Amino acid sequence: MNSAYGRLPRKEDARLVRGLGTFTDDIALPGMLHGAILRSPLAHARICSLDTTAAEAHPRVRAVITGATLAERQLAWMPTLSRDVQAVLATDKVRFQGQEVAFVVAEDGYAARDALELIDVEYEPLPVVADATRALDPDAPVIRDDLAGQRDNHIFDWSAGDQAATDAVFAAADVIVSQDMLYPRSHPAPLETCGIVADLDPVSGKLTLWTTSQAPHAHRTMYALLAGLPEHKIRIISPDIGGGFGNKVPLYPGYLCAVVGSMLTGQPVKWVEDRSENLMSTAFARDYHMHGEIAATRDGRILGLRARVLADHGAFNGSAQPTKFPAGFFHIFTGSYDLQAACCEVTGVYTNKAPGGVAYSCSFRIAEGVYLVERMVDLLAAELGLDPAGLRMRNLIRPEQFPYTCPTGWEYDSGDYPRALQLALDMAGYDALRREQAEKRARGEHMGIGLSCFTEGVGAGPRKHMDILGLGMADGADLRVHPTGTAVLGISCQTQGQGHETTFAQLVAEELGLSPADVEVVHGDTDRTPFGLGTYGSRSTPVSGAAAVVAARKVRERARIVAAAMLEAAPEDLEWASGRWQVRGDPEQGRTIAEIAMAAHSGLDLPAGVDGHLDAGTVYNPPNLTYPYGAYICVVDLDPGTGEVTVRRFVAVDDCGVRINPMIVEGQVHGGLADGVGMALMQAITYDTQGNCLAGSFMDYLLPTSVECPSWELGETVTPCPHHPVGAKGVGESATVGSPPAVVNAVMDALRPFGVRHADMPLTPANVWSAMQGRPLRTDLAD
């Protein structure tokens, strides 16, 4: 029988291409009111007075909520995902531009927006910490004076690896190359902004929330803890979500305000942020000031890596990663290379900027680590006069070394890195490109070729080591098989475009010999689905996918027992083949899942081990992360007269183990590659020294369009994951993680004749030209 895996058009498209999706702002409930947030124009200021009288008097305003209102309910502050606290509505001070100060509830959105202008706030400006590198200066203003005992802007120090061993390796090395580099503050900017419709039924006490949440169950538990509402009275529905990319993992003040608004008015309250709010106040990504050092022999054997990082966490530490890892999985920065030793130190600081840090498909800071190591390898190649592809090939972890434990403790599960790199080189025609480059340089034309070999670690994770707010990162799946043999799978992860309704149906269908059309996937509604930690960090396939497969196999085993009863054989005499349990040696004697399901519900005498159904569920606790990897090659053309860079080609070879639906995998890769072009060349959330956000709209936070993106050239290798039930690994973030260094390396390669060693992203025309003059721009902070 045909495998259910493979290219399959998506079930979700039927409604989406008709414009019949249900996104949060599409929801309209009877009597629904609309919320709007008044935000601080200043980055750091004391609130001297706050007068909402005029706003409350607006004829269409129903309520105005302030920090004082919330404080009465112990809701003015809420815990973050990093065990800090964040102001829901400011009470004493504002600590970043755009911070929430008041919440208006009105009959319609236009009135709510008008009423914001009727709120009078007097601020006393305070000195601003906008430069992370100055946040720990002795005279720096203390941002978090709300925290008892906080005397400075220091949040944490964290380290990994063996420093002594690394120091020894460096001491003995022929060559050490070091470089400062910034991974600029970025923002996922999903096309749909964050929002919520909060409906507290005053009679039943049930709180129903339709909201843009990548982790509805985790949100439910958080609301229960925060708002003191019994968790069984909370229902969260994530409807269709217009992109997540980590932006929709945290709880935001606007959500809580909407809940309180519904409590106060007794009516549903909708709050959907606008784009400037999204860019200025929701979870940003990256903002790592990194110092990298690489040690090698003169002939190109990489020995060790060191990294020191200053992490800008904004005004509240709201970054979302497993609690034991304040710098996420950054310490996988050892990358795809066989190193003797490595160590890193990360220091987190507060600044007067929006909170966040882990977002935008970083796989918990792996994006930052990959950028560091891939830039360092290219810098080493330049120093040694070696070709960057050859240097990489020489140092990649070899297939026979798997499972490979890197110097900072990660056990990479499987991989054949040289094969992937060779495929990429062949697809790109690397040697021909280098010849073309030489010919062009002789004529005064300039192009660059950049590589990135990356290893990801995704699918968090083993619950012993990985939890978010104490919730272990295991995910559930429950599978019901109806009497007529079609199935309903409930999963805890939450699609924002990844196609779960299709791929998870394929997973179950494959195990049970069904057609994917016969498997309905239910997700996003916490009343109808099992608990889990949601979709981010490329964890859906590794964790929820595994859970779905395990549940399906439990169903299949139950079916074996029933089939044995139906066939009057012993269960151990049955084999599973062609979608049936059949008698070994007598294949005519077989039953499909559909037949078995009906029988299970019938009056058939059921043996021990089976109730009157085939249903099964599980909670899957992954034994390890999965380690997808890739080899990327970017080709750019440079106009030295203007500094403009054009991405001519991008070759991407990815290995994510077994691919359930190759069409969907490719789509995930395509999307992430565009992120690389964007972050490398044009995207950054920049601030000025007064803490004004200079990228508060899409006029200045530039995202790549169809014109900047080339036609992506994809290749694949398949190295199954040894511990995943079907050998699959995650893939959603691979391209976002792996592509920026390929683009940056390509631009730096093009700039080599001009003596440019390094310039920080984004490599805008101005930055490229300035680098050519010997003065690359500082890209995190403007005057």
Least distance CB 47 / other proteins (angstroms): 23
Q: Which is nearer to other proteins, 109 or 571 (CB)?
A: 109
Apex 575 CA angle, 573 and 578, nearest 5: 150
Q: Is 636 helix (H, G, I), strand (E, B) or coil?
A: strand
DSSP 469: T
What residues pair up with 291 in beta bridges, in sequence order?
180, 308
19 contacts other proteins (rule: CB under 8 A): yes
- How far apart are CB 637 and other proteins at their closest, in Å? 15
Give me the least distance between CB of 684 and other proteins, in Å please.
Answer: 9
The answer to the question of residue 26 lying near other proteins (CB under 8 A) is: yes
Which listed residue (41, 79, 243, 472) binds other proteins by CB under 8 A? 243
From CA 780, how far away is CA 180, in angstroms rounded?
A: 13
Comparing CB distances to other proteins, the nearer of 542 and 696 is: 696
* Inter-residue contact 341 to 162 (CB < 8 Å): yes
**682 is a contact residue toward other proteins (CB under 8 A):** yes
CB of 613 to other proteins, least distance (A): 35
Stretch that binds other proteins, among 12-20, 135-143, 310-318, 483-491 (CB under 8 A): 12-20
CB-CB neighbours of 325 under 10 Å: 19
Span interacting with other proteins, options 466-474, 550-558, 570-578, 763-771, rule CB under 8 A:
763-771
CA–chain centroid gap for 575, Å, is 41
Element (H, E) at 472: strand 471-472
Tokens found for residue 593: 């899942």
Residue 590 backbone dihedrals phi, psi, to 5 degrees: -150, 160
* DSSP SS3 for 498: coil
Q: Which residues contact 145 (CB under 8 A, 6 or more apart)?
A: 93
Report, in Å, the least distance between residue 601 CB and other proteins: 35
* Smallest distance, other proteins to C-beta of residue 446, A: 15
Report which residue type is found at 695: A
Q: Does 18 bind other proteins (CB under 8 A)?
A: yes
For residue 479, what are the CA distances in angstroms to 11, 484, 549? 18, 14, 10
Task: For residue 28, state whether it binds other proteins (rule: CB under 8 A).
Answer: yes
Residue 702 binding other proteins, by CB under 8 A: yes
3-state secondary structure of 529: coil
Give least dist CB 357 to other proteins, A: 20
Q: Is 171 in the site for other proteins (CB under 8 A)?
A: no
Q: Which residues of 524-560 are buried (b: 16+ CB within 10 A; e: fewer)?
A: bbbeebbbbbbbbbbbbbbbbbbbbbbbbbbbbbbbb
Kindly tell me which residue out of 233, 419, 441, 601 binds other proteins, with binding defined by CB under 8 A. 419
Specify whether the CB–CB gap between 359 and 249 falls below 8 A. yes
Considering only residues 588-627, where is the footprint of other proteins by CB under 8 A?
Answer: none
Q: Any contact of residue 242 with other proteins (CB under 8 A)?
A: yes
Strand 207-211 versus strand 234-237 pairing type: parallel
Asked if the peptide bond before residue 640 counts as cis, ω within 30 degrees of 0, the response is no
Question: Which is closer to other proteins, CB of 474 or CB of 693?
Answer: 693
Cβ atoms of residues 7 and 225 within 8 Å? no
Helices (H), 98-252: 109-116, 163-172, 216-227
Do 536 and 494 form a contact (C-beta atoms < 8 A)? no
Closest approach, Cβ 368 to other proteins, in A, equals 20
Contact between 707 and other proteins per CB under 8 A: yes
**Residue number, 34 or 560, with CB nearest to other proteins:** 34
Of 318, 476, 643, 657, which one interacts with other proteins (CB under 8 A)?
643
Site string for other proteins, 425-454 (x = CB under 8 A): --x---------------------------
Residues in the chain: 783
Which residues neighbour 554 within 8 Å (Cβ) at sequence distance 6 or greater? 479, 616, 617, 618
Three-state DSSP string of 290-359: EEEEEEECCCCCEEEEEEEEEEECCCCCCCCCCCCCCCCCHHHCCCCECCCEEEEEEEEECCCCCCEECC
Residues in 99-128 at the binding interface with other proteins, rule: CB under 8 A: 109-110, 113-114, 117
The set of residues, in sequence order, having a beta carbon less than 8 Å from that of 172 and lying 6+ positions away, is: 303
Residue 303: phi and psi, rounded to 5, are -105, -45
Chain positions 351 to 410 lying near other proteins, rule: CB under 8 A, are: none
Q: Does 777 contact other proteins by CB under 8 A?
A: yes
Q: Given the complex with other proteins, which of 75 and 652 has the nearer CB atom?
A: 652
Establish if 478 lies at the interface with other proteins (CB under 8 A). Answer: no
* 16 lines the binding site for other proteins (CB under 8 A): yes
190 near other proteins, rule: CB under 8 A:
yes
Residue 698 in the binding site for other proteins (CB under 8 A) = yes
Which of 317, 496, 618, 624 is in the footprint of other proteins by CB under 8 A?
496
506-525: which residues touch other proteins (CB under 8 A)? none
* Phi-psi region at 287: left, alpha or beta (left = phi > 0; alpha = psi -120 to 50): left
Taking the least distance from each CB to other proteins, the nearer of 295 and 633 is: 633
CA 463 → CA 330, 481, 532, distances in Å?
Answer: 19, 29, 11
Of residues 245-264, which lie at the interface with other proteins (CB under 8 A)? 245
Q: Helix crossing, 366-384 with 734-751: angle to 10°?
A: 30
Binding mask 713-732 toward other proteins (x if CB under 8 A, else -) reads -xxxx---------------
60 binds other proteins (CB under 8 A): no
Residue 708 found at the interface with other proteins (CB under 8 A): yes
Q: According to CB under 8 A, which one of 147, 171, 191, 577 is a site residue for other proteins? A: 191
672 binds other proteins (CB under 8 A): yes
Q: Is 193 in the site for other proteins (CB under 8 A)?
A: yes
Q: Does 275 bind other proteins (CB under 8 A)?
A: yes
Nearest CB to other proteins, comparing residues 117 and 180: 117
Size of the site for other proteins (CB under 8 A): 93
Residue in 38, 309, 310, 420 binding other proteins, rule: CB under 8 A = 420
